[in-house]
Amino acid sequence: MHVVLFDKADWRAGLYPLALTRPVADLRVGILTIAEKWGKWLNAPFSFLSENYLAEKFPLGSLAGDVLLVKGNCCPDDRLVDAIAALRVGQALMAGDQCIAVCTDAESLPQLNPLSLSGYLPVAYRYDFVQINYPEDLFMNNGQQIHIDFQLITKGRSSAVLADSNRFLGDNFFAEEGAKAEFATFNSTKGPIYLGKNSEVWEGSLIRGAFALGEGSQIKMGAKIYSNVTVGPYSRVGGELNTCVIWGRSSKGHDGYLGSAVMGEWCNWGADTNNSNLKNNYKSVRLYDYGKSEYRDTGLQFCGTIMADHAKCAINTAFNTGTVVGVGASIFGAGVPPTFIPDFSWGGSEGFATYQLDKLFETAALVYQRRDCTFDEIEKRLLNSVFELTKNHRNF
């Protein structure tokens, strides 16, 4: 059995700009990405069926035999996994008029449209389940998903032992092989704490669960990390973090606040940069919605910054409540930038110009090199496609 996570549908635009550079199922919530969750729950290989321009980096792959096609924004749980695993070829799991999963065969997959399932026998699913429909759903569900992923990953395993210099409150803690920490405080009485392989927590850090630190990532000295925080792999983090998700390979290495927020991959958060996550009037926060091309009321009192892949901001940047930063944006200068910063923007509160791709590629090559990665032609072609897709937003 092979799992294919699909998002070739209008609803994926609700997750822009985060999903402009990756399939929805490659978004991280909890410890794992959505796709990684399904792979572990079903003990099966996975691939993606997404927009054509993403296929080169995220291929469907060579399939044979039976295939489970699963909606890419759905997070697994016990009931949902049991219902999907019980499907037989020719059946579709439906929540009302919404298709959650289809069991088919590899030969039929190219002709299958999950939005038009004539010929498939519907199987009703009547339980609640977690769907990631908008960017804020990632940080809102992050604590719960850390709990679920923690149980999935650590069940039946023993944690590595950390140095005696650390202080532990509670025993809901797990460190992978090679994880290191000195003179740090870990409070897992409020939620689990997970340290990935070869990760490091430096002296004086204060960490309260639920918290997840990805492989090879570092928490710098004196960091204050509250509940419901994920720092993905190969990232470096300092300062103050609360209820946020960092996909990975990003840097928030200095003092400053990141809260009720999502940061993508290859991002940099300049020293002493802060985001507001609460309005002065305490009213609900609006976010720019790519699918609707207008601002959408989130209904949330706390909502900070949504920063897409390759975006960067200079030191002392002050982000207003509910700011959306597009792919490849570069923000600098005094003042508070607008709450929607289009993809491939260059500037700040005094105005923007287009961040030309040749300049962005020069920087990206250096950023990748620092992390022993190669900024290759596949990445360039993907960003070229995103540049064209988002050109109507750059009205400057």
Q: What is the pLDDT of residues 253-267, one digit of tens each?
A: 999 999 999 999 999
**Residue 305 is inside which H or E element, if any?**
strand 305-307
* CA Rg value for the chain: 21
Helix (H, G, I), strand (E, B) or coil at 141: coil
Q: In terms of pLDDT, which residue wins out, 245 or 116? A: 245
At 8-45, the pLDDT tens digits run 888 999 999 999 999 999 999 999 999 999 999 999 99
Please give the pLDDT value at position 117.
77
Domain ranges (residues) in the chain: 2-124, 136-393
**Are 2-124 and 136-393 the same fold in CATH?**
no
119: pLDDT strictly greater than 90:
no
DSSP state of 162: P
Average predicted confidence (pLDDT) for the chain: 97
How large is the average pLDDT for residues 207-215? 99
Backbone angles phi, psi at 81, to 5 degrees: -65, -45
94/124 Cα distance (integer angstroms): 5
Cα 309 from Cα 250, distance rounded (Å): 9
Share of the chain above pLDDT 70, in %: 99
DSSP string spanning 337-369? PPSEE-TTEEEETTEEEE--HHHHHHHHHHHHH
State the chain's maximal CA–CA distance in angstroms. 63
Q: What is the pTM of this model?
A: 0.97
pLDDT of residue 122: 95
Say what the pLDDT of residue 166 is. Answer: 99
Name the helix (H) or strand (E) containing 378.
Answer: helix 377-389
Q: How would residue 61 be classed by pLDDT, with cut points 50, 70 and 90?
A: confident
As a CATH number, domain 2-124 is 3.90.550
Mean pLDDT confidence for 130-147 = 99
Contact 267, 248 (CB under 8 A): no
**Residue 145's pLDDT is what?**
99
- Closest-CA residue to 240 (of 207, 265, 266): 207
164-184: pLDDT as tens digits:
999 999 999 999 999 999 999
Lowest mean pLDDT among 54-58, 116-120, 292-296: 116-120
Angle subtended by helix axes 34-42 and 78-85, to nearest 10: 60
| pLDDT score of 85 more than 90 | yes
Q: What is the pLDDT of residue 156?
A: 97
- Fold topology of 136-393: UDP N-Acetylglucosamine Acyltransferase; domain 1 (2.160.10)
pLDDT at 43: 97
> What percentage of the chain's residues is helix, strand, coil (to nearest 5)?
20, 30, 45
- According to the model, what pLDDT value does residue 114 have? 67
Instruction: Please report, rounded to a whole number, the percentage of residues in the chain having pLDDT higher than 90.
Output: 93
| Average of per-residue pLDDT across 327-354 | 97
Query: What is residue 115's predicted lDDT score, i.e. its pLDDT?
Result: 63
